[in-house]
Amino acid sequence: MTSEEIRLRFLKFFEKRGHAIIPSASLVPENDPSVLFNTAGMQPLAPYLLGASHPKGTRLANIQKCVRTVDIEEIGDNTHATFFEMMGNWSLGDYFKREAIEWSYALLTDKQEGFGLDPARLYVTCFEGNSDAPEDQESASIWREIFENNGVPGNRIFFLGADANWWPAVKKGQDTWSGPTGPCSEMFYDVTGKINSGMSKEEFLAADERQEVVEIWNDVFMEYVKNNGKIAGKLKQKNVDTGSGFERIAMVLQNKNNIFDTDIFQPLMEKIESLSKNWNLKSGRIVSDHVRTSIFLISDGVLPSNTDRGYILRRILRRAIRHTDLLGISEGRIDDLIDIIANKYKDSHYQIINKLIMIKKTIKEEEIKFRETLSKGIKEFEKITDLTPEKVFDLYQSYGFPIELTEELAIEKGMKVNKKEVEKLFKKHQDLSRAGSEKKFKGGLGDTSEMSVRYHTATHLLHQALRDVLGPSVRQRGSNITPERLRFDFEHQQKMTPEEKKLVEEIVNEKIEAKLPMNKITLPIAEAEKVGALHFFGEEYGNKVDVYFSGDKIETAYSKEFCGGPHVKNTSDLAGKFKILKEEAVSAGVRRIKAILE
Least CB distance to Mg ion at residue 217 (A): 9
Angle between helices 334-344 and 266-275 (to 10 degrees): 170
Cα→Cα distances 335→310, 349, 354, 359, Å: 20, 18, 15, 10
Site for ligand ATP in 16-55 (CB under 6 A): 40
In the stretch 194-223, what mask flags binding to Mg ion with x, by CB under 5 A? Answer: ------------------------x-----
Q: Which does 558 bind (CB under 5 to 8 A by kind): ligand ATP, Mg ion, none?
A: none
Residue 128 binds ligand ATP (CB under 6 A): no
User: What span, in angstroms and rounded, lies between the C-alpha atoms of 367 and 578?
Assistant: 37
Q: Which stretch binds ligand ATP (CB under 6 A): 216-224, 348-356, 394-402, 430-438?
A: 216-224
How far apart (Å, rounded) are the C-alpha atoms in residues 244 and 381?
A: 42
Could you tell me if 540 and 430 are in contact, meaning their C-beta atoms sit under 8 angstroms apart? no
Residues 246-275 that bind ligand ATP (CB under 6 A): 247-248
3-class DSSP state for residue 381?
helix
Q: Smallest distance from the beta carbon of 76 to ligand ATP, in angstroms?
A: 12
Choice between 81 and 496, CB closer to ligand ATP: 81
- Candidate segments 241-249, 279-287, 346-354, 451-459, binder of ligand ATP by CB under 6 A: 241-249
Q: Of 143 and 536, which has the nearer Cβ to ligand ATP?
A: 143
Edge-first strand order for the sheet with 560-562 is 518-524, 544-550, 560-562
Least distance CB 220 / Mg ion (angstroms): 9
Could you tell me the smallest distance in angstroms from the CB atom of residue 350 to ligand ATP?
A: 23
Name the minimum Å distance from CB 91 to ligand ATP. 17
Residue from 216, 329, 403, 425 in contact with ligand ATP (CB under 6 A): 216
Radius of gyration of the chain (CA): 27
Q: Name the binder of 86 from Mg ion, ligand ATP, none, CB < 5-8 A by kind.
A: ligand ATP
Q: Please tell me whether residue 403 binds ligand ATP under the rule CB under 6 A.
A: no
Q: Does 309 bind ligand ATP (CB under 6 A)?
A: no
Residue type, 436: G
Total residues found in the chain within this entry: 598
* SS3 at position 239: strand
Closer residue to Mg ion (CB): 214 or 342: 214
Partner whose binding site includes residue 344, from Mg ion, ligand ATP, none (CB under 5 to 8 Å by kind): none
Choice from 182, 183, 243, 377 touching ligand ATP (CB under 6 A)? 243
Q: Which does 244 bind (CB under 5 to 8 A by kind): ligand ATP, Mg ion, none?
A: ligand ATP
Residues 81-120 that bind ligand ATP (CB under 6 A): 81, 84, 86
Q: Which is nearer to ligand ATP, 80 or 349 (CB)?
A: 80
Does the footprint of ligand ATP cover residue 217 (CB under 6 A)?
A: yes
3-state secondary structure 127-162: ECCCCCCCCCHHHHHHHHHHHHHCCCCCCCEEEECH
- In this chain, which residue has its C-beta nearest to ligand ATP? 245
Which residue, 80 or 156, has its beta carbon nearer to Mg ion?
Answer: 80
Tell me how far apart the alpha carbons of residues 59 and 89 are, in angstroms, rounded to a whole number. Answer: 7
**Direct distance between the N- and C-terminal alpha carbons of the chain, in angstroms, rounded to an integer:** 72
Q: Which residues contact 80 (CB under 8 A, 6 or more apart)?
A: 71, 74
Stretch that binds ligand ATP, among 145-153, 212-220, 425-433, 461-469 (CB under 6 A): 212-220
One-letter identity of residue 585 = A
597 Rama class: left (phi>0) / alpha (psi -120 to 50) / beta: beta
Interaction residues for ligand ATP, span 440-479 (CB under 6 A): none
- Contact call for residues 74 and 81 (beta carbons, < 8 A): no
- H or E segment and range at residue 174: none
Residue closer to Mg ion by CB (options 217, 381) is 217
The stretch among 213-221, 227-235, 260-268, 442-450 that binds ligand ATP (CB under 6 A) is 213-221
**Residue 215 within binding range of ligand ATP, rule CB under 6 A:** yes
**Restricting to residues 535-564, which ones interact with ligand ATP according to CB under 6 A?**
none
CB-based contact 449:437 (threshold 8 Å): no
- CB nearer to Mg ion: pick between 218 and 288: 218
All residues at 6 or more sequence positions from 92 whose CB lies less than 8 Å from its CB, including other chains: 48, 49, 53, 54, 57, 58, 59, 60, 237, 239
Asked, as a colleague might, if the bond just before 168 is cis with ω within 30 of 0, I would say yes
Cα–Cα distance, 235 to 91 (Å, whole number): 13
CA distances to 301, 462, 499, 581, 582 from 505, in Å? 30, 8, 10, 11, 12
Residue 269 or 395: the one with the smaller Cβ distance to ligand ATP is 269
**Cβ distance to Mg ion smaller for residue 243 or 304:** 243
Q: How many residues bind ligand ATP (CB under 6 A)?
A: 17
| Residue span binding ligand ATP (CB under 6 A) among the ranges 130-138, 238-246, 298-306, 559-567 | 238-246
Per rule CB under 5 A, count of chain residues that contact Mg ion = 1
> Is 342 one of the binding residues for ligand ATP (CB under 6 A)?
no
How near is the Cβ of 525 to Mg ion at its closest, in Å?
33
Q: What secondary structure, in 3-state letters, does 1-33 show? A: CCHHHHHHHHHHHHHHCCCEECCCCCCCCCCCC
Decide: is 80 part of the binding site for ligand ATP (CB under 6 A): yes
Q: For residues 90 and 60, is the Cβ–Cβ distance under 8 A?
A: yes
Closest contact distance (angstroms) between CB of 554 and Mg ion is 38
Name the minimum Å distance from CB 140 to ligand ATP.
Answer: 18
Binding site partner of 217, from ligand ATP, Mg ion, none, Cβ cut-off 5-8 A by kind:
ligand ATP
CB atoms within 10 A of CB 112: 5
Considering only residues 60 through 79, tell me which ones interact with ligand ATP, judged by CB under 6 A: 68, 71, 79
The Cα–Cα gap between 467 and 455 comes to 18
What residues from 546 to 585 belong to the interface with Mg ion (CB under 5 A)? none
Amino acid at residue number 464: Q
Binding residues for Mg ion, rule: CB under 5 A, are: 218
Residues in contact with ligand ATP by CB under 6 A are 40, 68, 71, 79-81, 84, 86, 215-218, 243-245, 247-248
